[in-house]
Amino acid sequence: MKNKKSKALLLVLKNTKLNEKHFVIKVQLPKNHPEIWPGQFVEILVEGSPETFLRRPISVHDVDEKNHTLDLMIKIVGAGTEKLSFLKEGDFIDIIYPLGHGFSLARKGQKVLLAGGGCGIAPMLYLARKLKEAGAECHIAVGGKTSDDILLSNEYRKLGKTAVLTEDGSIGDKGLITAHSWFGTDLKSFSKVYVCGPDAMMKAIGQLSVNAGVYCEVSLENLMACGIGSCLCCNVSTTEGNVRACVEGPVFDVTLLKDWNHNPVCHG
């Protein structure tokens, strides 16, 4: 494996519809593909329309290193992601990968908490897999407005203890994700917290973690043009000045972030 970034036409093996808004694309990677790390992302070219001019940044959902496949979980949020939802087996997609700085792992025996809000659960599968390989003990919390936002599959359940919360109570416990005891009295017992989801959720969990003295990493979803560090459009305001979500991030130590008020804004 090489660690370079690559631009490639990759074969779509499968497009699995999860519900009205979400789907997972499985693509074939070349055997000598660059190493892909949890929390990294790819940039996909949406073919065929002047309205979807720029690539779409999509986080890595899962990697099967034995069969050389990459899974991308995508939410339909506009014209570009809608077009991607029509991809089918046998199609090719133009991808730049792997991009960005991903999550840090944990050591053997450490208890860690993974939190995903809505489609923010996407990067947590591959992360949980890698954490389990490293011997860490994963707890996975998923939150959403309604049952449509809960994309927790049995795959996650194989990797750790899971909890589900919805704001309307249509599935799991009723309430915000932070209502779970893992984010309350239990929080101190975790070595690390990983979060991806809406800003409000990441900010809330980030603050709770800081208060509990637990290290916390968040994965930001910023608007991007290039994805490789040249356009400076995806800036993140940090204690060290403006940095790029696509190179220094998208995963950041929450204590470095200042004034983040980013989503919901995306190309669609």
Partner 1 sequence: MADLKVNIGNLELQNPVLTASGTFGYGFEFEDFLDVNKLGGIIVKGTTLEPRQGNAYPRMAETVSGMLNAVGLQNKGVFVFIDEILPKIRGYKSRIIVNLAGSTVEDYAEAASVLNEVNDIPAIELNVSCPNVKTGGMAFGTSCHSLAEVVKAVRKVYKKHLMVKLSPNVTNIAEFAKTAEDNGADSISVINTLMGMAIDAETRKPKLSTITGGLSGPAIKPVALRMVWQCYKAVKIPIIGLGGIMNATDAVEFMLAGATAIQVGTANFINPSVAEDIVSGINEYCDRHGIKDVKELTGALLI
User: Does residue 211 interact with partner 1 by CB under 8 A?
Assistant: no
Contact window for partner 1 (CB under 8 A) among 58-66, 144-152, 182-190, 230-238: 230-238
Amino acid at 115: A
Of the two residues 152 and 226, which places its CB atom closer to partner 1 in the complex? 226
Site string for partner 1, 246-265 (x = CB under 8 A): ---------------xx--x
User: Does residue 28 interact with partner 1 by CB under 8 A?
Assistant: no
Q: Which of 35, 51, 133, 173 binds partner 1 (CB under 8 A)?
A: 51
Both tokens of residue 49? 């329309």
Cα separations (Å) of 225 from 56, 69, 105, 266?
8, 26, 28, 11
Whether a cis peptide bond, with omega within 30° of 0, leads into 264 is yes
User: Does residue 239 interact with partner 1 by CB under 8 A?
Assistant: no
Compute the distance between CA of residue 228 and CA of residue 247 in angstroms, rounded to an integer: 7
Contact window for partner 1 (CB under 8 A) among 64-72, 107-115, 159-167, 220-228: 220-228
Q: Which of 52, 69, 162, 166 binds partner 1 (CB under 8 A)?
A: 52
CB 113 within 8 A of CB 86: no
What pairs with residue 58 in β-bridges?
42
CB 242 within 8 A of CB 235: yes
Of the two residues 207 and 230, which places its CB atom closer to partner 1 in the complex? 230
Compute the distance between CA of residue 206 and CA of residue 224 in angstroms, rounded to an integer: 23
User: Does residue 242 interact with partner 1 by CB under 8 A?
Assistant: yes
Q: Which of 20, 32, 50, 154 binds partner 1 (CB under 8 A)?
A: 50
Q: At its nearest, how many Å lie between partner 1 and the CB of residue 193?
A: 24
Q: At its nearest, how many Å lie between partner 1 and the CB of residue 150?
A: 25
Q: At its nearest, how many Å lie between partner 1 and the CB of residue 196?
A: 18
User: Does residue 171 interact with partner 1 by CB under 8 A?
Assistant: no
Q: At its nearest, how many Å lie between partner 1 and the CB of residue 18?
A: 25
Size of the site for partner 1 (CB under 8 A): 33
| Binding region for partner 1 (CB under 8 A) | 4-7, 45, 50-55, 96, 222-226, 228-237, 241-242, 261-262, 265, 267
